[in-house]
Chain A
């Protein structure tokens, strides 16, 4: 394993560094810790109509409106009831106009912050048409866990948000 990762170190899509890891179902995911603004417990979300199903709505974060996205639905995982560990990770992402906006991700639980060295990261294998991986640039393998690393700017990609869904039937 070490040989392959060293060979590919120069063209790693995910950068080494400190990642916040979290749970979606039974899978581990990670996002760069520098992009995390805060982690809050699940609060009441005001749904916004005519948005894709994974955009759950907006919350009031100390007077600021923050849109919230359900990562489970975004990644097409099976629906799951919220539990005590469910929480919202507020991250800073690039907006379409180049500015920075805050966005909340609903996740099933936050794990820990791990420092990934270059040798820990591999590029995500190509799954072909079956699985879209453009927002999953790399995988990290530590302590016998495989952690999928997110490119959060692509997760909240503008193009996917602009495609508003029509009003669902009542």
Chain B
């Protein structure tokens, strides 16, 4: 590196400035005469003055001039009147600054109108002056399939990015996470470049450079960087959604516009602002990479970590020259982490399979199990005479069971990704409402049916939003109540008795029992003197009328759209329970089936036929005694159940089947609960409880709303699954047949 006498250096800089002035005399607007000489002179000035970042106006002035030149090169390639004017001003300023340096006084500040005229942020090196927001046009015919693949992969990358950023927020020094985000952006860039999606590519590129700097520890992970990455991820997602909408034919083909320029320039300035925010992970690491302390002049950054050496005062020209004498002493970048990037890429190998193939596999395995049990029960084979055969059959049974379990698990995915999304939600929302809220997640590895995981996301968002909005109090209120200022929401998934439970717990206000009770009385749901258990009372907020009632929403702070949540959960054949203690918080527990493919069913017999009632909806069953069944106008029948009357439906009459008996006292009443309604079904007998694989009845029977599907029973025959939700709707219909 050059180490020249400071005085000579200043003289040289002054001479270069004079040369630029000479060149500018010949320059004309609209022509490129003098363009290249001016540019190269500026380049030499930049090289010479390179070490003195500490003298703000000088360095910034040079950068500013380079920007003007770059803009010229990137637009017309000829001088414009404005640029010429500015360059003229610049030369004057430069001469004045150099003179000031020589006289050891402070150089004049940069004229403020320069930056405004440039229409770009300071220190933006490579950006052109003005640019249209880039449009994205797809070549659907040629790239259709590739686009789909790109979108699919992108979703994964975007999720990785989002998750990673949230980890970084907690632990900015996490090299693995940094690398994984970097890789995600990198892959994004590659894919979009291949498909010629320029706008996506350039954004991904900038984000990648940002991450690269962070990876090399040249850039500290500050909240603003985190926000940039999150916003970048969101913008990329917008692109992907738009691309996917066109690729799948949802939207007509056409150019896609997602504004990126503002974000791009912010990223670039963050990248360019890098020297100002150099940070070393630990002081000791910084020291070890520096030259020995005896070195005559230290770069300013190292000073902080090297006590005993007089910190240079960067404000005076004297120290400026001292620093310039050692331009090579720039802090070495920590190179070590870059090697890590290549390691630890993908964790496991994954095969993508069409769901139709999976379903057919499930069908076949189910059928195999039935056949297997028929073989085992065959009397000719299994008379116990042949020990070898008995052993082999038992072994076959075990293998079949294992096979079934494995096949069923193919449809299962962990709830991890869904929970991760909630972190982002809590982060954004808590900032918005001005509360301090921490989300804890547990049991993220718990596996659920793929469909359930997809469908549960919306209800969870809704409930967490409720908790943030109404559950958790403002920090000052919390402190007053003797609670920690930051609220906690716990999101937990675990197994319980053949179900998956997802629990949302907050340590906020709790539900207001009195107000709910008052509302319930007002609506006639509860009699004033009635003693209602908490669980039943809280469940009322899930009913439709309740939730939309603005009054309760305002007062108790809960219930907006809770009926929608309940309906969504019921659609997944799940149910919900609420626990709450005033002032201590609420717990919402969602009970979900392990999989949608299997249903726990109560097998009932009507005449010669068998039907399945989902066990989850069965409250109880009993043989009615005389006098418990009442008729209304000789048609509508009701069952007296602990003092309350519920409508009864004779299943045989409804389904048009010849029953074994029409006498209720010889039959069984099955009480089912669907929505908030209760219906008593009269059946001939109970045949047991079975776990059955649900199958769709197909289009032929689509109009038949009383059936939720069908299942193949243990003997290979088909059993129809009744839909209690549809049945409760019919109970009001006249039942002439029930004679």
The answer to whether A and B interact is: yes
Instruction: Decide if B26 is an interface residue (CB 8 Å cutoff).
Output: no
User: Are B655's CB and A63's CB within 8 A?
Assistant: no
Interface presence of B270 (CB below 8 A): no
**Is A95 touching B699 in the complex (CB atoms < 8 A)?**
yes
Bound-state Cα–Cα, A164 to B704, Å: 8
Give the contact stretch, choosing among B256-264, B284-292, B359-367, B516-524: B359-367
Q: Which of B60-68, B334-342, B590-598, B709-717 contacts A (4 or more CB under 8 A)?
A: B709-717
CA distance A164 to B706 in the complex (A): 12
Which residues of chain A have C-beta atoms less than 8 A from B695's C-beta? 64-65
- Asked whether any CB of chain B lies closer than 8 Å to the CB of A112, the reply is no
Q: Is B297 an interface residue (CB 8 A)?
A: no
Give the residue name and chain of the B residue nearest to A50 (CB): B704
Within A69-108, which residues are at the interface with B (CB < 8 Å)? Answer: 95-97, 99, 101, 103
Q: How many B residues are at the interface, by size bracket?
A: 35 or more
In the complex, how many angstroms separate the beta carbon of B666 from the nearest chain A beta carbon? 16
Question: Counting chain A CB atoms within 10 Å of each CB, which of B696, B697, B703 scores highest?
Answer: B703
Q: Are B656 and A48 in contact (CB under 8 A)?
A: no
> With an 8 A cutoff between CB atoms, is B355 at the interface?
no
Closest A residue, CB atoms, query B709: A65
Q: Which residues of B contact A62 (CB under 8 A)?
A: 363-364, 367
B710–A63 CB distance below 8 A:
no
Q: Chain A residue with minimal CB distance to B650?
A: A170
When the two chains form their complex, are residues A63 and B366 in contact, meaning their CB atoms are under 8 A apart?
yes
Does A168 have its Cβ within 8 Å of any Cβ on chain B?
yes
B707 within 8 A of A: yes
Say if the beta carbon of A30 comes within 8 Å of chain B.
no
**Chain A residues positioned under 8 Å from B736 (CB to CB):** 169
The answer to whether A103 and B656 touch across the interface, beta carbons within 8 angstroms, is: no
Tell yes or no: A117 within 8 A of B by CB. no
Instruction: Known contacts A60-B717, A63-B364; decide if A49 and B657 are in contact (CB<8 Å).
Output: yes
Sample (10) of A-B pairs whose CB atoms are under 8 Å apart: A50-B704, A55-B700, A57-B718, A58-B710, A62-B364, A62-B367, A67-B697, A67-B700, A164-B703, A170-B739
Q: How far is the CB of A67 from chain B (nearest CB, A)?
A: 4
Query: B677 contacts the other chain (Cβ, under 8 Å)?
Result: no
If A47-B609, A164-B704 touch, whether A170 touches B697 (CB-CB below 8 Å) is: no
Query: Contact residues of B with A, CB < 8 Å?
Result: 363-364, 366-367, 609, 652-659, 662, 695-701, 703-704, 706-707, 710, 712, 716-720, 736-739
Of all chain B residues, the one with the shortest Cβ separation from A57 is B718
Most chain B CB neighbours (cut-off 10 Å) among A47, A49, A57, A161 = A49
Interface presence of A24 (CB below 8 A): no
- Count residues on chain A whose CB falls below 8 Å from chain B CBs: 32
A-chain residues with CB within 8 Å of residue B662 when the two chains form the complex: 170
* Further pairs besides A48-B704, A63-B366, A158-B699: 20, Cβ < 8 Å: A46-B718, A47-B609, A48-B697, A49-B654, A49-B655, A51-B704, A60-B367, A62-B364, A63-B712, A64-B363, A65-B697, A65-B718, A67-B698, A95-B698, A101-B700, A156-B700, A161-B703, A162-B703, A170-B653, A170-B658
Is there contact, CB below 8 Å, between A46 and B697?
no
For residue A129, CB closer than 8 A to chain B, the reply is no
- Choose from B363, B366, B701 the contact partner of A51 (Cβ within 8 Å): B701
Q: Which residues of A contact B656 (CB under 8 A)?
A: 49-50, 167-170
Please name all residues of chain B whose beta carbon is closer than 8 Å to the beta carbon of A47 when the two chains form the complex. 609, 657
Give A127 Cβ to nearest chain B Cβ, in Å.
28
* Nearest CB on B from A97, distance (A): 7
B712/A60 in contact, CB under 8 A: yes
Report chain A residues within 8 Å CB of B700. Answer: 55, 67, 101, 103, 156, 161
From B364, B366, B717, contact of A46 by CB (8 A): B717
Contacts A46-B609, A46-B710, A167-B655 hold; do A65 and B698 have CB atoms under 8 A apart?
yes
Number of A-B contacts (CB under 8 A): 94
**With the chains together, A103 CA to B700 CA distance in Å?**
9
Contact of A50 with B706 in the complex, beta carbons under 8 Å: yes
Residues of B within 8 A of A162 (CB): 703
Give the one of A57, A64, A95, A170 with max B CB within 10 A. A170
- Chain B residues near A55 (CB, 8 Å)? 700
Contact between A59 and B703, CB atoms less than 8 A apart: no
Is the CB of A126 closer than 8 A to any CB of chain B? no
Once A63-B367, A164-B703 are accepted as A-B contacts, the answer to whether A170 and B652 lie under 8 Å apart by CB is yes
Residues on the B chain within 8 Å of A46, using CB: 609, 710, 717-720
Distance in angstroms between the alpha carbons of A158 and B716 in the assembled complex: 28
Residue A38 CB within 8 A of the other chain: no
- Chain B residue nearest in CB terms to A169: B737
Q: Is the CB of B718 within 8 A of A58?
A: yes
A153 to chain B, nearest CB (A): 13
Q: Which residue of A lies closest to B368 (CB)?
A: A63
Quote the shortest CB–CB distance from B626 to chain A (angstroms).
22
Which residue from chain B places its CB closest to the CB of A69 in the assembled complex?
A: B700
From known contacts A46-B719, A49-B657, A96-B699, infer whether A65 and B710 are also in contact, taking CB-CB under 8 Å.
yes
Nearest 9 Cβ contacts at the A-B interface: A63-B363, A63-B367, A46-B718, A49-B655, A67-B700, A168-B656, A95-B699, A167-B656, A169-B737
Neighbouring B residues of A99 by C-beta, 8 Å? 699
Q: Contact between A48 and B712 (Cβ–Cβ < 8 Å)?
A: no
Asked if A170 and B717 sit within 8 Å, CB to CB, the answer is no
Name, among A60, A67, A162, A167, the residue most crowded by chain B CB atoms within 10 Å (CB to CB). A60
Nearest-CB distance from B317 to chain A (Å)? 82
The answer to whether B718 touches A101 (Cβ under 8 A) is no
Query: Which residues in B have their C-beta under 8 angstroms from that of A57?
Result: 718
Separation of A57 and B720 alpha carbons in the complex (Å): 10
* Set A60, A103, A156: member contacting B718, Cβ < 8 A: A60
- Which chain A residue lies CB-closest to B697? A65
Q: Which chain A residues border B655 with CB–CB below 8 Å?
A: 49-50, 167
Output the nearest chain B residue to A156 by Cβ-Cβ distance. B700
- Residues of chain A with a CB closer than 8 A to B657's CB: 47, 49, 170
Query: A59, B658: Cβ atoms under 8 Å?
Result: no
Name, among A57, A62, A99, A103, the residue most crowded by chain B CB atoms within 10 Å (CB to CB): A62
- A128 to B695 alpha-carbon distance, docked (Å): 43
